[in-house]
Amino acid sequence: MTMDSRYRQLLAAVRGLVPCDAAALLRLLPDEGSPVLQPVAVDGLSEEALGRRFPASAHPRLARLLQSGNGLRFASDAGLPDPYDGLLEHQQELQAVHDCMGAPLRVDGRIWGLVTLDALDPDAFDGVDPQRLASVVRMLEAGIAAEETIAAMARRAEQEQALARASQRGGTRELLGRSAAMVRLRQEIDTVAGSDLTVLILGETGVGKELVAERLHARSARHDRPLVQINCAALPETLADSELFGHKRGAFTGAVADRAGKFELADGGTLLLDEVGELPLPVQAKLLRVLQSGDVQRPGSDRVQRVDVRVLAATNRDLREEVARGRFRADLYHRLSVYPLRVPPLRERGRDVLTLAGGFLEENQHRLGARNLRLSPAASQALLAHDWPGNVRELEHLISRAALRARAAAGRGGRWIAIEPEHLGLSLTPAASQALPSAVRAPSPSDGAAMAPGMPPEEHPVLPAGAGLREATERFQRQWIEQALQRHGGAMAAAAREAGMDRSNFQRLAKRLGVKT
């Protein structure tokens, strides 16, 4: 069982003690500036929340909880924005949190983070007295302390601090996602990171190969030494020697001063050879010699310098195929692929797309100075249905564009800015559109049981040419609700049960869609 799953078990136990709509466990990130909290487990919140970071300076409720000592409950009319507004799981429409309480968690006498409890009912926590909240805190603190011990967090804390320092220097991101493919990848990274083995990072363009390299370096014994990167695709053969190995003054025309190459700059640390499959064959031969001997000789110099460098290489090419075609040296391939790591494409990562989208929305929220940016349920489904040929990079750019469009359309006022399908601008293929759950797309005869019961295929609404996903969603939801109410003689509660929704939420959705009840 992973640490993530054990944290989720703790939250499930919390919801057994204190009934609520959502609970979250947030860890205080090691940071030398203002406090920043990151969710490590959520129950009742969307996956989008796991991709976000919450600076206490931007979220007054979290700041007050950190300073509260034993925790507190916020009045329903407190007027402070709730960080989880619009992030509740299984919403049919974005909803605001109305009752909120939480407490700081301490491990070994220091604040580890927070537990937060949220509900839509403003009176949900009337029966929760300080003693019950204290019991929740004690249970969580004991569980977290056990996890800290099991995971040997003394060494991990040092590594996470290195990641945080790197993030402050260069905006490093983390490998987000809870899909089986990403769990396996992180396990593989942690297995090989502590060694000095050469790692070949394989994957399509845009999957995050650089992030894998950064995690390998941050979790290695070299984490406090430099990680030097070089883009081999942008390396002309005439300058390759100089870039990789440096040069002496006067070694060639234009060499007006001594220069250290990337191997020397990475001495004691890690060198990432990005897009290594693009290296010309003559440069491959020189690189192989350095990897075999560990000795670097600057062009124009007689002195040989030994370097201690851990080499990582990344490529989107099939190097075995390149070897077969004579475009890549077999001996260099075997030297680089001591420990190959494949980074999965985004289409194989399932609901990770929502976690990643949440992280990108958080970045855009701060960059644009916008209030809370949230994915609407329909937008989330559209993201899940897309096949992502450009992988995570495509998602990042798409979210940036959508944030700009949504901000421009929202105007002033409101507690959040909702990202709708039309802001995403996705053109779904027929196969991707068919992959959408029937509740958020226009039905087709092939849907079978997913179609509204008792409704012949020929009676389904025909959408006008160019109709967007949101229009299709609302038309289908409206007709489904009307049919359900007819089947149950107008009984709202019975129709809501058939829809698998809370009655009040179902009634609000029907009202918003203009269904006569």
Q: Which residue has the higher pLDDT, 113 or 157?
A: 113
Segment 454-483 shows an average pLDDT of 64
Distance CA 462, CA 331 (A): 61
Residue 6 one-letter amino acid: R
Give the range with max mean pLDDT: 114-118, 487-491, 494-498.
114-118
Is 50 exceeded by the pLDDT of residue 440?
A: no
- Chain position carrying tokens 């007295």: 129
Residues 365, 358: Cα–Cα separation, whole Å:
10
Q: How far apart are the two ends of the chain, measured CA to CA in Å?
A: 48
pLDDT band at 253 (very low <50, low <70, confident <90, very high): low
What pLDDT was estimated at residue 365?
A: 87
How does residue 452 score in pLDDT terms, banded at 50, 70 and 90? very low
At residue 465, the pLDDT reads 52
**The pLDDT value given to residue 368:** 83
Lowest-pLDDT choice from 154-168, 196-210, 356-370:
154-168
> Model confidence at 506, in pLDDT bands (50, 70, 90)?
confident
Task: Assign 395 to helix, strand or coil.
Answer: helix
What tokens does 283 get? Answer: 């440069």
Contacts of residue 355, Cβ cutoff 8 Å, sequence gap at least 6: 47, 48, 50, 51, 176, 177, 178
The radius of gyration of the chain's CA atoms, rounded to the nearest angstrom, is 27
pLDDT of residue 81: 83
Three-state SS for 40? Answer: strand
Decide if pLDDT at 449 tops 50: no
What is the Cα–Cα distance from 27 to 105, expressed in whole angstroms? 9
Identity of the highest mean pLDDT range in 35-44, 239-248, 447-456, 464-473: 35-44
pLDDT score at 252 = 65
DSSP code per residue over 496-509: HHHHTS-HHHHHHH
**What is the pLDDT of the chain when averaged over all its residues?**
82
106 residue type, one letter:
R
Closest CA to 361 of 306, 413, 311, 404: 404
| Whole-number Å distance between alpha carbons of 141 and 148 | 10
Identify the sign of the CA torsion 165, 166, 172, 174: negative
Residues 310-357: tens digit of each pLDDT = 999 999 999 999 999 999 999 999 999 999 999 999 999 999 999 999
Instruction: Give the model confidence (pLDDT) of 6-53 as tens digits.
Output: 888 899 899 889 989 889 999 998 654 678 898 989 988 888 888 888
6 contacts 147 by C-beta, under 8 angstroms: yes
Indicate if the pLDDT at residue 122 is higher than 90: no
Least confident of 108-112, 292-296, 425-429: 425-429
Kindly tell me if the per-residue pLDDT of 446 is higher than 60. Answer: no
Q: Give the count of beta carbons closer than 10 Å to the beta carbon of residue 90.
A: 12
Work out the pLDDT band at 414, boundaries 50, 70, 90.
Answer: low
Question: Which band of pLDDT confidence, cut at 50, 70 and 90, is reported for residue 114?
Answer: very high
Mark 480-495 as b/e (b = at least 16 C-beta within 10 Å).
bbbbbbeeeeeebeeb
